[in-house]
Amino acid sequence: MALPKINLPISELILPSTGEKIKTRSFTVKEEKILLIAGESNDAIVEMMAIKQIINNCLVEGTVDDLAMIDLEYVFLKLRSSSVDNLTMFTVKDPETGESVELALDIDKVECVKDETHSKEVRINEDYVLYLKHPTIDEFAKVLTLDPKDPLTNYFIMCACLDKLASDDEVHNFSDYTPEEIDDFMDGIDGGSIKQIQKFFETLPKLRHEIKYTNSNGNEQTFVIEGIRSFFI
């Protein structure tokens, strides 16, 4: 006789970037093993791919490829909180004293910080509006393999987030065009439009949390946690 399969609880989450509702199941031992192995690797790409695999396993419908990076980070933390523990203990080095300080992170208190000026729309001219999309985990992972000092790195992520170009009469989806055709299009954009695209990236929503503590000198310090690797503790 085969062992019975355990029914796992299903929960509903609201994605911070779109407000869309998705359904997920809890972590199993399988996902916890993936998380543990990735954490021991201390490799950013390995950690990201582990998170992608875990969320893909836990999604009841859809695929992780459709999630923006901010949504993926948010879903991962919520799954981590509900499946394992909302409290995580970790150690940091105090910048003033150099001493190790143990801190506690309550994952349930982590919030998505949004900039009211953030917009996916860039007015190119009187006729066309450029629509951008939030980067995915695969695009972030690709950036990690590139030289951060190379200006083409910023250009890559910029092109990867081009969604569509629309006028009153037509819509051009960038997924339908070759990299060469997209390069030609980008060469024709003026500096003002490029600044608007840069602002899109500068104001992307992000998970951020501050933990205040008092060091051995009696001074209050603030430890800032931001970005998916910071929460991988």
CA-based nearest residue to 204, from 105, 74, 106: 74
Q: What are 173-232's pLDDT values in tens digits? A: 999 999 999 999 999 999 999 999 999 999 999 888 899 999 999 999 999 888 665 655
What is the predicted pLDDT for the residue at 232?
55
State pTM to two decimals. Answer: 0.79
Q: What does the longest C-alpha to C-alpha distance in the chain come to?
A: 70
**Cβ-proximal residues to 123 (8 Å cutoff; 6+ apart), any chain:** 129, 130, 193, 196
**128-157: per-residue pLDDT in tens?**
999 999 988 888 888 878 887 887 888 888
Strand, helix or coil for residue 209: strand
